[in-house]
């Protein structure tokens, strides 16, 4: 499904999985790590690649001691997407965050939606195959929606993904409720 949303291979992972892609012909990397953390050492084992690093925490509500995703961070993702489109030799994009569950999946879906206006729900639903058991960061999506002037279509796509993920993966809803600070992301029961 994602193959027609971006004209290159797309991989999403967490830091602990990076070594597995050192020989995967990765041409471009979007790296999202916590503030103050060093760049992952695994990149020293990668071949030549272009990398953009963003630093913010995986939070969706103001949390003491944490840097929330901000508009400038989303501009960084969107600028990365524009630059990626200009590279004629981009062949394999790797998007990672700490766990490969929230920030990286939101960023990947945002990049797919950026390139495909009107296909926002498809961009998010592609995550079901790309990164099963993901839970994209809603704050990132809402900020990107405003910057791209999609008038809620990114958020609607995210909600469609959330509903599909809850259906597809036993225990997902209970897991999100257990995290704390994220339960408001659960889709409302709309009778459907």
Structural domains of the chain, count: 1
Whether 125 is covered by a domain: the verdict is yes
Output the pLDDT for position 192.
Answer: 45
Is the pLDDT reported for residue 190 higher than 60?
Answer: no
Whether 45 is covered by a domain: the verdict is yes
- How many DSSP H helices and E strands does the chain contain? 7, 4
Whether 189 is covered by a domain: the verdict is no
Whether 187 is covered by a domain: the verdict is no
Output the pLDDT for position 2.
Answer: 60
Whether 130 is covered by a domain: the verdict is yes
Domain CATH number, residue 83: 3.90.190.10
90: tokens are: 């981009």
Whether 119 is covered by a domain: the verdict is yes
131-170 residue pLDDT tens = 988 999 999 999 999 999 999 999 999 999 999 999 999 9
pTM over 0.75? The answer is yes
C-beta separation of 55 from 34 below 8 A: yes
Domain of 95 in residue numbering reads as 2-182
81-138 residue pLDDT tens = 999 989 889 999 999 999 999 999 999 999 999 999 999 999 999 999 999 889 999 9
**Percentage of the chain lying above the pLDDT 70 cut:** 96
Contacts of 149 (CB under 8 A, 6+ apart): none
Q: Which residues of 34-69 are buried (b: 16+ CB within 10 A; e: fewer)?
A: eeeeeebebbeebeeebeeebebbbbbeeeeeeebb
19-30 residue pLDDT tens = 999 999 999 999
Whether 63 is covered by a domain: the verdict is yes
Is the pLDDT reported for residue 32 higher than 90?
Answer: yes
Whether 82 is covered by a domain: the verdict is yes
Output the pLDDT for position 61.
Answer: 94
């Amino acid at each position: 499904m994602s193959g027609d949303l971006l004209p290159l291979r797309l991989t999403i992972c967490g830091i602990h999985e990076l070594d597995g892609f050192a020989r995967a012909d990765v041409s471009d990397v979007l790296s999202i790590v916590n503030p103050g953390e060093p760049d992952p050492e695994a990149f020293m084992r990668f071949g030549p690649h272009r990398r953009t690093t963003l630093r913010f925490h995986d939070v969706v509500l103001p949390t003491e001691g944490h840097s929330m995703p901000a508009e400038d961070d989303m501009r960084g993702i969107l600028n990365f997407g524009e630059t990626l489109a200009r590279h004629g030799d981009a062949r394999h994009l790797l998007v990672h965050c700490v766990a490969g569950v929230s920030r990286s999946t939101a960023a990947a879906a945002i990049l797919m939606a950026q390139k495909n206006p009107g296909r926002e729900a498809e961009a998010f639903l592609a995550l079901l195959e790309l990164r099963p058991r993901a839970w994209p960061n809603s704050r990132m999506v809402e900020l990107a929606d405003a910057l791209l002037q999609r008038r809620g279509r990114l958020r609607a796509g995210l909600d469609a993904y959330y509903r599909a993920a809850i259906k597809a993966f036993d225990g997902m809803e209970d897991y999100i409720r257990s995290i704390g600070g994220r339960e408001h992301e659960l889709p409302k029961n709309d009778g459907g």
